[in-house]
Every structure is written in C-alpha cells, then in structure tokens.
Chains A and B, each alone.
Chain A
Amino acid sequence: MSDFTGSGAGLRRRDLLRGAAGLGAGAVLAGCSAPVLSGLGTGRESAGSLDFWNLFGGGDGVRMTEMLDGFRAAHPGTDLKAVTLAWGNPYYTKLSLATLGAKPPDVAVAHLTRAKTLIASGLLEQLPLDELARSGITPDKLDPTAWRAGLVDGKAYAIPLDTHPFVMFYNTDVCEKAGLLDSAGKLTSLDSAEKFTDAMRRAKQVTKTYGGVVSINGDSATPWRIFQSLYSQLGGQMLADDGAQVVIDRGKAMRVLTFLRSLTSSGLVPGGIDYQGAIATFANGQAGFYFQGEWEISTFQTAEMPFSMTLFPNVFGGGRYAVQADSHTLVIPKQPDTDPERRDRSLTLIKSLLDQSKTWAQGGHIPAWLPFRNSAAYRAMTPNSAYAAAAQGAVYDPQGWYSGSGSNFEIVTSNAVATVLGGQQQPGAALAQMRDQLLDLAGTPSPIEGGAR
C-alpha cells in the first residue's frame, strides 16, 4: 500500500481515511465512497472548464496546488477544477470507470507503469507529436528514458513530469563518525556487496542500533523496489511477452535475495519494521542509511536532521547503473467527444505544469522537463540534483496487465522478498513462491485485452 505519494505519513493517513470511509460499508465501498462522489460532482458542461485529477497528498499535494494556482493566474479564462483522490488502486479504478462512463477528467496524473495498462485498455487519448509540438512540448525536451518508456507502438499517450527512483538517504553525522565521508564531505563509494556491507557495519558501530533501514512490514512496494534495484543491476528480467511469461533468472534472483538476507540476519538492517518505523529509525539517528524513493526528502527536511541523499549504490551493476523507478505522467483520458478547444486547454495545462518543474522538483523528484533539468537552478538544488543520474538508469516495472505501481505484481513480489528479509523463508522457497504466484497471474487471461485502441 505504499507506493510513492509525497510523504509516507500522508500516505498512511489517506489509507486510513479510506478505511474509515469504508467502515461498516464493506470492501466495495471502502475503496470508493467519498472520492467517487466528489468525482461525480465535477461537471463537464461549462465552457472554459477544465477538470484535473491527481493523487498527490502531503508535500506533493501542496506543491501541486501551488502549480495549479500558477496555471490559474496565467489563464484566468479557464475554470480549472482539481480533484485530489487517494493514491493506489482506487485511483486507477475511478479513473477507468469515469472514462468508461463518459465522464472523464480532461487531464489526469498517472504513474507511467499504470498508464501503460490504461493505454492497453484503450482509455487514454493518443497525443500526436505535431499537436504536442504546437503546445511547445517536444520529445527532445523530455527525459529520454521516461519518454521512451511511455511509448506504445511508437505512439505517445503520456507526458512524463518526473522520474522518481529508489535512492539512498544517509545521516551525514553518522557517516562522518564512521569514517565514510572523504575530506570534501562526500560519501565514499558503496558500489559492491563488500563495500555496502562494510558501510552498514561501520554505521552500526556509530549508531549502536542499526547500520541501515528499509521498510518491510505491511509494505507492498518497498521490498520489491530494493529487490528490483539490485536484480536489474545484474541485468535480470521478471516478465516477458507483456506479462504472459515469467522469466525470473534464478541465479541472479538468488544472489540478490541471499545478499538482502545477509544484511538482516547479521543485524545490520532490522528484519521487520514498517514504513513509519523505518522513517523514525532513520530520523532518530538509529540507522545511518535509509532506502526509499526520493519523495521522503521533505520528511527529513522537516525533521531538521543532518542528512543527504545519493544514488542507490550500484552494488552488482559494475559498469552499468540500474535502479527501480517510476514516473508521474500527465495523460488525457479518452474523451467522449472531440472538442478542439478543450483539448487545447488540456495541453496548455500540461505544458504549464512542465514549465513549473522547479516547484515540483522540490519534492525530490527528478524533473523530466529538460529545459529545467539542465539549468543551473536545478544543479543548485541539493541534495536533489545529486541523484539526477538515476533517471538514466531508471528501470520501470515490467509490462503486464497485472503489473505497475501498486499492482498485484508488486504485492506478490514484495511479500516474497519481505519473508526473506524477515527471515521467515529461505531465499529458494521465497523465490519459488514468487514464481508460482506470478505464473498464476501470467496464466490468467488479461481482463483488459480487447480494449479499443
């Protein structure tokens, strides 16, 4: 339940609120009570109106609101209505149903890995390059990795706003005392299993508690992220043929799982801690390193602790860097009618949000908009720009109807990896379990095939 949302705290609260909404109403209502009603309230009738759906809470929600206000100020003729819905499956379910019900928003945010599912379901408008160019959006101005990852049959449907990779946070005080900083205050390289383990050990000697910490309990995404980061550094693949085949490389996966287990079994990393607990452990100085997506930056800035961030170490990659990541994209859901003016307004909003990448980047995300990313202003942002290289090494979740941000794929893989980290299963047994459950999903006929392209 904890893909990226801006802050873990915000995420949990929303999960909880969603649960509260469902109190006594059963599973179906739990996912879609109040937000659906607010969604229904956004009319499509008025001229000059523009509906925008997003899933940002916490610090990201504040920054998105600021950016939308920026758009409103620049385009007073457009009546922009923004709806913020709870992150996760319910969001994509609502977006799908609203689009099927011919009441879609004009513009919506979607994770790149989920946009692919929406495209396969025929729920997104294709965005011809010439039309995008008229709005000032051209592929050469967007992060090439994110842009290419969003293409389907060479056609564009989703405009990437950012890349949000898995990164490493480190406590600068702890690392200094542990002798892990060089004279310039730069973290020494952790780019091998030995160096990585050694750094954890030295950090533990300073904190007396743990070397590093990563969220495991009740977390259906983070174990997958750390596994995928290491596994893709070895060049491993999970699925092939759009999810119809499971192609896990046993040797590589075993190497990663054995390594992860060695970190927890030696007590360098706690083997059973939840999302908030992991944040607290790092914020309290009980661990020198913390592994999570960059979005937790604001959490630790608020905590006013001595920390910095860098790329998730290239433990297994050697010459090639790889790290688990996803992107927020801006999409136009399939519209019930063709309305060139509405479409213009939608593209204007998308361009306006890209133009305000500076605001967005404050949340830790690597902006996909190159005019800003290549600017001195971005390079001056620290520690944000320190891990910008992760965008090139970004590895997105494999394609498949059951895959993507917050999907069953992430739930299945995270659960298996978590049992290894927690010491409840041997790597071999966990891998067999992961494979069996993925094979089940791979063997199930896709519920989204046959959607009109």
Chain B
Amino acid sequence: MSTTQTAVRPAAGASQPTPRPARADRHGLPAAGFLAPFLTLYLLFILGPAAYGLVMSFFDASLVQSGLGAFAGFGNYAEALRSADFWSSLWHTLWFTILTTPPLIVLALAFALLADRAARGRWFFRLAFFMPYILPSAVVALIWMFLYTPELGLLQNMLGHIGITAPNWLGDPDWAMPSLALTTLWWTLGFNFVLYLAGLQEIPRDLYEASAIDGAGPWQQIRRITVPLLGRTTTLVAVLQVIASLKVFDQMYIMTSGGPNFATRSLIEYVYDEGFTNYRIGYAAAVSMLFFLVVLTVSAIWFRIVRRGQKEI
C-alpha cells in the first residue's frame, strides 16, 4: 500500500518537498518489485511488439519470409493513404463508432436511472441488463445471426406478423452496419449501465430530499442533480465507449466477414486481411500505426470535448 502512497503524493504534496524523495528512494526497490510482473508482461506483449510493429511498418515485411525484407521508407504509409480500401475501412470504423456511442451512453444512463428507481426486484433489472455483457462475442454473434437470418429468422417472422417487411439485416450493405450496431448495443450496454449504477450510488440521498422539500419534481431532480453529479462517470463512459467502438472487430469478423461487399469491413479487419490473408505484414503494420494515430487523436479530442462540457456544468 505504501507504494501507491508514494506514487500519489509527489503530485499532491508540492508543499512538502524535502522528505518525500528520500521516502520514495526507500520504497523504490519494493515498488519496482511489485511493478515487475506487470511491467515484464507489458514490455513483452505490448511495448515490445508495438516497437517491432513500428519498425516493420517501414519495411516490405512478409509473413512467410524470415527477416524484415526490403526497406520501404514511408512507402507503406503512402500506399495506405492512397488506398481507397483503407479510407473506406476507416470510415466504416468511424461510422460504427457514431452509430454505437450515443445510444450506448444515453440508453445506459436511462436504464440505470430506471433500475435505480425500481422499488422491487432491482437485482433482476441489474442482472437483466448486465447479463449479455458477460457473453463471449462469439455467442452474441451466433444468437444475433439466428435472429437476423433472412426468410427463417425470428426478427423477420415477428415483423412479418405485424405486416412489416423486414430488411435483409446482414445482407443489405445499407442495413448491415446498423444491424451490427444494434447487436453491439444489446451486448455491451450492461457495462456502461453498471458504471452509471455505481455513479448513482455515490450521489448523496439528502440532496434529493432537500430538493423535494424545495419543490423539485422527479424530472428536475434528474436534470439538475443526477446528470450533473454523474459528470465524472459520463466522462469515463464516453471515453471508454469511443475507444471500445473504434476497436471493433469480432462482431464483423464473425457475423459478416466484413461484407456485404465490404460494407462492414472495419479498419482492424483490413489490417487482418492484409497482414494475415495477404501476408503483407509490413503494410499491415503501417496501417495499424495509422490506426493508432487515429484512435489517439479521436480519443484526445473527445476527451477534451467531454471534459469541457463537464466544466461548464
């Protein structure tokens, strides 16, 4: 525990500078010891491969040949930026993020509020919303592929009974991405939902009592007390959600293989196609690096927007 204290205090304790470094030194060795298992794995499996990927991205590296291959300079990057497939996959990833992020935040909040207010059976609602999240992506994909099946699927059947012709969910290029977004919404809503529930627990109950005495209705309470006080949670949820959505791969790989007609090929699937199907691992590494920059930029901008919005409140 002392390691966390020393790690936190230098930042917080600028007023008491002299004794701290000495304490930090005294704890340096145990701290390093505690960090070592994590750092080793981090170096081996994250930083090492990332650095190797960066190096590879400057070579015409092939998956089926040893060594790095010929030096390509920025050739792979230039090729990616010229490639229509790269831009369309990037757009698919962004489109998926746009489709999934707002509902995953708004609906999670709405359902958390409802579940929090439920007088009885609260455990049931919590369980019901969180349950899908614990399923592996493969299971979720399988369930939804059954639901979406044209001709025989459940959704088609149900809509048919009320006289609506269901679209070809996964087979129509225009519908495939919204269908994947819907699946993702059902699957991952529970995570944001739980974060919001935890946030709700932290709001002091007496604020509601005081406001009720002052004559505030439920809607006013939500708008003036709950949502502002959930600001930190919203920041966290929003940033995590954008990053999670940008990383999308499993659903598409399993449910549509990036189709129909590449309409749902996300950037990570493009990397997979180029690196593992076409053996062009150097080029795939370059695309990964570009993608890393995109995620970094989008996350940074998004973080700023969300933080600023919070300060205004």
Do residues B250 and A411 form an inter-chain contact, with CB atoms below 8 A? Answer: no
* B65 contact set on A, CB distance < 8 A: 100, 121, 447-448, 450-451
Residue-wise, chain B 126-137 has the 8 Å CB interface mask toward A (1 for contact) of 000000000011
* B259 contact set on A, CB distance < 8 A: 217-220, 415, 418
Chain A interface category by residue count? 35 or more
Do residues A274 and B272 form an inter-chain contact, with CB atoms below 8 A? Answer: no
Instruction: Check B152 for interface membership: any CB of A closer than 8 A.
Output: yes
* B262 contact set on A, CB distance < 8 A: 415
Do residues B64 and A424 form an inter-chain contact, with CB atoms below 8 A? Answer: no
* A20 contact set on B, CB distance < 8 A: 136-139
* B136 contact set on A, CB distance < 8 A: 19-20, 23
Report if A27-B152 is in contact (Cβ < 8 Å); known contacts: A217-B170, A424-B173.
Answer: no
Do residues A19 and B254 form an inter-chain contact, with CB atoms below 8 A? Answer: yes
- Smallest CB–CB gap between A291 and chain B, Å? 16
Instruction: Check B150 for interface membership: any CB of A closer than 8 A.
Output: yes
- Smallest CB–CB gap between B280 and chain A, Å? 5
Do residues B254 and A220 form an inter-chain contact, with CB atoms below 8 A? Answer: no
Of all chain B residues, which has the CB nearest A444?
B280
Please report the C-alpha to C-alpha distance between residue A19 and residue B63 in the assembled complex, in whole angstroms. 21
Please report the C-alpha to C-alpha distance between residue A121 and residue B62 in the assembled complex, in whole angstroms. 10
Do residues B261 and A415 form an inter-chain contact, with CB atoms below 8 A? Answer: yes
Of all chain B residues, which has the CB nearest A22?
B250
Chain A residues 81 to 126 lying within 8 A of chain B, measured CB to CB, are 89-90, 93, 96-97, 100, 121, 123
* A402 contact set on B, CB distance < 8 A: 278
Do residues B168 and A447 form an inter-chain contact, with CB atoms below 8 A? Answer: no
Do residues A408 and B171 form an inter-chain contact, with CB atoms below 8 A? Answer: no
Residue-wise, chain B 250-269 has the 8 Å CB interface mask toward A (1 for contact) of 10011111111110000011
* B261 contact set on A, CB distance < 8 A: 415-416, 418-419, 424-425, 433
* B172 contact set on A, CB distance < 8 A: 272, 422, 424
- Smallest CB–CB gap between A23 and chain B, Å? 5
* A451 contact set on B, CB distance < 8 A: 64-65
Residue-wise, chain B 146-166 has the 8 Å CB interface mask toward A (1 for contact) of 000111110000000000000
Report if A23-B152 is in contact (Cβ < 8 Å); known contacts: A31-B276, A418-B261.
Answer: no
Please report the C-alpha to C-alpha distance between residue A218 and residue B180 in the assembled complex, in whole angstroms. 13
Report if A100-B66 is in contact (Cβ < 8 Å); known contacts: A15-B254, A22-B250.
Answer: yes
Do residues A218 and B170 form an inter-chain contact, with CB atoms below 8 A? Answer: yes
* A422 contact set on B, CB distance < 8 A: 168, 171-172, 260
A218 contact from B62, B85, B260, Cβ within 8 A: B260
* A447 contact set on B, CB distance < 8 A: 60, 62-65, 69, 278-281
Of all chain A residues, which has the CB nearest B274?
A408
Instruction: Check B141 for interface membership: any CB of A closer than 8 A.
Output: yes
Please report the C-alpha to C-alpha distance between residue A96 and residue B276 in the assembled complex, in whole angstroms. 11
Instruction: Check A16 for interface membership: any CB of B closer than 8 A.
Output: yes
Instruction: Check B116 for interface membership: any CB of A closer than 8 A.
Output: no
Do residues B256 and A218 form an inter-chain contact, with CB atoms below 8 A? Answer: yes
Of A49-57, A188-196, A275-283, the one with at least 4 CB within 8 A of chain B: A275-283
Please report the C-alpha to C-alpha distance between residue A274 and residue B66 in the assembled complex, in whole angstroms. 39
Do residues B141 and A19 form an inter-chain contact, with CB atoms below 8 A? Answer: yes
Chain A residues 394 to 441 lying within 8 A of chain B, measured CB to CB, are 401-402, 406-408, 411, 415-416, 418-419, 422, 424-425, 433, 437, 440-441
* B296 contact set on A, CB distance < 8 A: none
Do residues B139 and A90 form an inter-chain contact, with CB atoms below 8 A? Answer: no
Chain B residues 93 to 129 lying within 8 A of chain A, measured CB to CB, are none
Residue-wise, chain A 198-211 has the 8 Å CB interface mask toward B (1 for contact) of 00000000000000
Do residues B168 and A217 form an inter-chain contact, with CB atoms below 8 A? Answer: yes
Please report the C-alpha to C-alpha distance between residue A355 and residue B277 in the assembled complex, in whole angstroms. 33
Of all chain B residues, which has the CB nearest A412?
B262
Do residues B60 and A448 form an inter-chain contact, with CB atoms below 8 A? Answer: no
Do residues B64 and A407 form an inter-chain contact, with CB atoms below 8 A? Answer: no
Do residues B138 and A16 form an inter-chain contact, with CB atoms below 8 A? Answer: yes
Select the residue from A16, A96, A100, A418 with max chain B CB neighbours within 10 A. Answer: A16
* A23 contact set on B, CB distance < 8 A: 136-138, 250
9 contacts between A and B (CB under 8 A): A1-B257, A15-B254, A31-B276, A121-B65, A217-B260, A280-B149, A281-B152, A422-B171, A441-B278
Q: Which A residues fall within an 8 A CB radius of B?
A: 1, 12, 15-17, 19-20, 22-23, 26-27, 30-31, 89-90, 93, 96-97, 100, 121, 123, 216-220, 270-274, 276-277, 280-281, 284, 286, 401-402, 406-408, 411, 415-416, 418-419, 422, 424-425, 433, 437, 440-441, 444-445, 447-448, 450-451
Give the 9 A-B residue pairs with the shortest CB-CB distance, closest first: A272-B171, A20-B138, A447-B62, A16-B138, A217-B171, A272-B168, A19-B254, A20-B136, A121-B64
